Structures are given as C-alpha cells and as structure tokens.
Amino acid sequence: MKNAQEILNTKAVANNTVTSSDTVIHALAVMRSENLSYVVVMDNGKFVGILGERDYTQNGILQGRHSDTTLVKEMMRLDYPVIEATVSSDMCLEMMDMYKTRYLVVFYENQYLGVLTMHDLLREKVSEQKKPIRFVARTL
C-alpha cells in the first residue's frame, strides 16, 4: 500500500495554480486547460486554499456572482483536510469519507507537496487489486 507522497509522485505535474486575487473566470480557464476540477490557490509561493467546481457552483452561480468580476478569494475554500505525506492510501480514503471531500492537501514538514483527489486514490486502489478486473458484456 502506497502513502500520499508515493501516490503524488505518480501524478503528472499540473499547472493548475492561481492566486487569491485572480478572477474566478481566470481560475475556470486554468481548470479547463488542465482538464481538472480544481485549482490550487497560492499566494507568494504559499498554499492558501483550493477552488473547486463545487465551490464555484455553491459560492458563485447560486449566489448570483459573476465570474469575471469575482475574485478567487471570495469563493475558494480554506478548510480542506491537510495530511502528512506519510499517510497511507487507506487512511486517505477514510479521511475523505469522514470529511465528505474529494481533495486532501498533502504537506511534508510544513512544505506543500500537492493535492490528492478521490480519483487518484481510486486509481491506486484498483492497481492494488491482485485479481484482474473482468468486464462482462451483455447484449440487450
């Protein structure tokens, strides 16, 4: 079983960072260009939060805000769970379930390393399986 750092090491490096003073429309464009559902918010090289598609929906669209005039800091979330790089993949899944989140922020000795997503952990879980997965095709 891999830990958070080992899983992060298998991910491609994404260019999905914005600043808290960027407009939300800019953050959405970054999400689209990277084909991701979130952006990492960094100010002066320091992690400050995440803006995900759900945050945009709940804190933007549903509140009548406009993405071209609203700043990322007005919609981003600061309360995502933070974990150490040594946490096991099973514990990561348990934490996601406990906190009802799709993202975990990973740090090592107070240094930001990256974000683990539910998809990252599910891919890892599937690769851990000893038995091959068989697909059953059925005609209607």
Write down all domains in the chain, each with its CATH number in brackets: 4-128 (3.10.580.10)
**Residue 79 tokens, joined:** 């309360």
6-32 pLDDT, tens digit per residue, is: 999 999 888 899 999 999 999 999 999
CB 50 within 8 A of CB 35: no
Relative to beta strand 46-52, strand 38-43 is antiparallel
Average pLDDT over residues 91-116: 93
Supply the pLDDT for residue 14. 80
| Neighbour tally for 101: CB within 10 Å | 19
Average pLDDT over residues 66-85: 93
41-71 pLDDT, tens digit per residue, is: 999 989 999 999 999 998 888 888 999 999 9
Terminus-to-terminus CA distance in the chain, angstroms? 39
Q: Given phi > 0 = left and psi -120 to 50 = alpha, else beta, which region is 70?
A: beta
Q: Which amino acid is at 119?
A: H
Supply the pLDDT for residue 53. 93
Place of tokens 């002066």: 44
Counting Cα atoms < 13 Å in the Cβ hemisphere of 14 gives 22
CB 81 within 8 A of CB 58: no
Residue 99 has pLDDT above 90, yes or no: yes
d(CA 66, CA 79): 23
d(CA 83, CA 120): 15
Higher-confidence residue of 136 and 101: namely: 101
Residue count of the chain, please give it.
Answer: 140
